[in-house]
Amino acid sequence: MRDIFFRHPAIGALIFICLFSGNAVAQTVQPVDPDMAERKLDAPPSEVDPYEDWNRKVYGFNETIDNWFLRPVAKGYRTIMPGFADRAVTNFFNNLTEIRNFANSIFQLKGESAVVAAGRFTYNTVFGLGGLIDVATMFDLPERPEDFGQTLGYWGTGSGPYLMLPFLGPSNPRDFGGFVSDNLLLPSAWDLAETPDVYYARALQIVDKRADLIPAEGFISGDGYTFVRNAYLQRRAYLINDGRTVDDPFASDDDEDLMLEDF
């Protein structure tokens, strides 16, 4: 129980509130076949987001918590944290996700991506001072994010309806299940953390993530809920289809296209 709590603490979910009051899980079915993916993404909003009324209430709840607590703390963090130190903290936590990337690349039979994830973790850990410096990107090994939600989508598991979850933000049944699996079942560097250090590390990770998202807030236009939903769906479709673009499922809403790296 101790490991489960450390690897998936409730406060850790606040990372996803950073995504404009709502994120790290929702889209329509994204099978491997790009033609089928495009047909599903063309579904009307009523099919993709059948619980919109409830989702908007949860979105408002998440937004309130972010406005009153997380965002002010993140703004203070940006004010006092030197740029090089901020980048080092971000690099350190990003490096830990390479273990997840490696495992899910194996599950998806993506040998090249698995090698890249292993190489990134090795280079950044050994030559990047424990991950503080992103040496791997300098060696032309950019990150290839993979999670268990993507793994389920790769093998044809349907996503189910779009959901806005308290604290966790944008999600769906498949991606929420993947999120839980990544944090509770798969190997993680967080297993090595001891109390109370794990609490300090988690808190720093949350604040750093939220601080990094502050500049992106200027991209939000129109209805915030719709914008977050569209951006999230686009990002997840992009990841699951390995960069093969598909049509924006909500293009008629006249929102700007946005691929948010943290969605």
pLDDT digits (tens, 9 = 90+) for 69-103: 999 999 999 999 999 999 999 999 999 999 999 99
- Residue pair 1/184 in contact (Cβ under 8 Å)? The answer is no
pLDDT of residue 28: 31
Cα of first residue to Cα of last residue in the chain, in angstroms, is 28
The answer to whether residue 109 scores a pLDDT higher than 90 is: yes
Alpha carbons within 13 A on the beta-carbon side of 235 = 23
Chain mean pLDDT for the chain: 80
- Beta strands of 87-151 (E only): which ranges? none
pLDDT of residue 66: 96
Give the pTM.
0.76
- Residue pair 135/129 in contact (Cβ under 8 Å)? The answer is no
Tens digits of residue pLDDT in 117-144: 999 999 999 999 999 999 999 999 999 9
> Which of 202, 141, 193 is CA-nearest to residue 9?
202
Query: Which amino acid does the sequence have at 151?
Result: T
Q: What is the rounded CA–CA span in Å between residue 206 and residue 228? A: 19
Burial of 114 (0-12, 13-18, 19+ CB in 10 A): buried
